[in-house]
Every structure is written in structure tokens, then in C-alpha cells.
């Protein structure tokens, strides 16, 4: 038997109906990440991409059987480059004044409250975003812990 899944977030007011002006299909040319060559061999090696510089390295010299290199051709379409799956572009907000910048652009940008904003200011930002009909990607971030206590 399947267990009922808990709701990940709550939808309040008009937030559930917010839709972007246009929602083009996002096409990724490569679904998996480019990892640093031989980063899987050592735990101490960070897997984030680094360009190979070795004098005799087979990876730098593009030998057969080595992984693909980062190239400009793998770049995303300019129109969909920073789009989230819901069709909005993220815009980081630290206070209510910065939220006002999105007044005329609420069909393209969704606001994301910065991680270091206090619970009190978060509440004010979420309320103002509801008035301006701006989507907030993380409206419940610090409010959950406050309500539990």
C-alpha cells in the first residue's frame, strides 16, 4: 500500500495561480555534468570541472575513450538559459525595496528571498509579494521553524 505523501509547501492566496508570460520548452544538450578528469579515483579531489593542463595527459590530448570536454557548443539556448522549470527566472531579494523592482516584471521574474534574511523581514516580503502578485520561490523558508515552536 502507498503511504500518503506530505505536502512539501503550502499555497496561500493568489500564489497558486501565478504563471509566466511565456513558457518555452527548455532543451538541455547534455543532461549529465562535466566532471574533472579522474575525480572519481580520489575522494580528496573535487569533481567540479577543471581544464586539464598536463604535458602528456591523454585527456587533454583528446585520446579515444576519454570523457567529453567542456565546449561552447554545449551551452544552453539564450532564451531559456536561466529559466527554472516553471518558466520564471530567479531574482534574489534582500528586502521589500528590492522586491519593488519586480513590480512591472512579475510575469518574467520570480523572487527568491536571500538565505540571510530574518523571519520578520521574510514575512513582510511575502506579504508584499502577494500584493504585487510576484511569485516567491521560497515563501515558507524560516516561517516553518517559527510556527513549530
Per-residue pLDDT band for 143 (boundaries 50, 70, 90) equals confident
Q: What pLDDT was estimated at residue 148?
A: 63
pLDDT of residue 145: 58
Judged by DSSP in three states, 96 sits in: helix
At residue 21, the pLDDT reads 87
Record the cell numbers describing residue 112, joined without a space.
527568491
Instruction: Give the pLDDT of residue 1.
Output: 60
Going by pLDDT thresholds of 50, 70 and 90, the confidence category of residue 116 is very high
CA distances from 112 to 40, 87, 102 (A): 34, 14, 12
Amino acid at each position: 500500500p502507498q503511504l500518503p505523501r506530505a505536502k512539501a509547501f503550502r499555497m496561500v492566496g493568489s500564489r497558486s495561480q501565478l504563471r509566466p508570460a511565456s513558457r518555452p520548452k527548455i532543451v538541455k544538450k547534455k543532461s549529465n555534468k562535466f566532471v574533472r578528469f579522474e575525480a572519481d579515483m580520489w575522494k580528496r579531489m573535487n569533481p567540479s570541472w577543471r581544464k586539464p593542463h598536463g604535458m602528456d595527459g591523454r585527456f587533454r590530448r583528446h585520446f579515444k575513450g576519454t570523457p567529453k570536454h567542456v565546449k561552447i557548443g554545449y551551452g544552453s539556448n539564450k532564451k531559456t538559459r536561466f529559466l527554472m522549470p516553471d518558466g520564471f527566472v530567479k531574482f534574489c531579494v534582500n528586502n521589500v525595496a528590492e522586491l519593488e523592482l519586480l513590480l512591472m516584471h512579475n510575469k518574467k521574474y520570480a523572487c527568491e528571498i536571500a538565505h540571510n534574511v530574518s523571519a520578520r523581514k521574510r514575512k513582510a516580503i511575502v506579504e508584499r509579494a502577494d500584493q504585487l502578485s510576484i511569485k516567491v520561490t521560497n515563501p515558507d523558508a524560516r516561517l516553518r521553524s517559527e510556527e513549530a515552536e
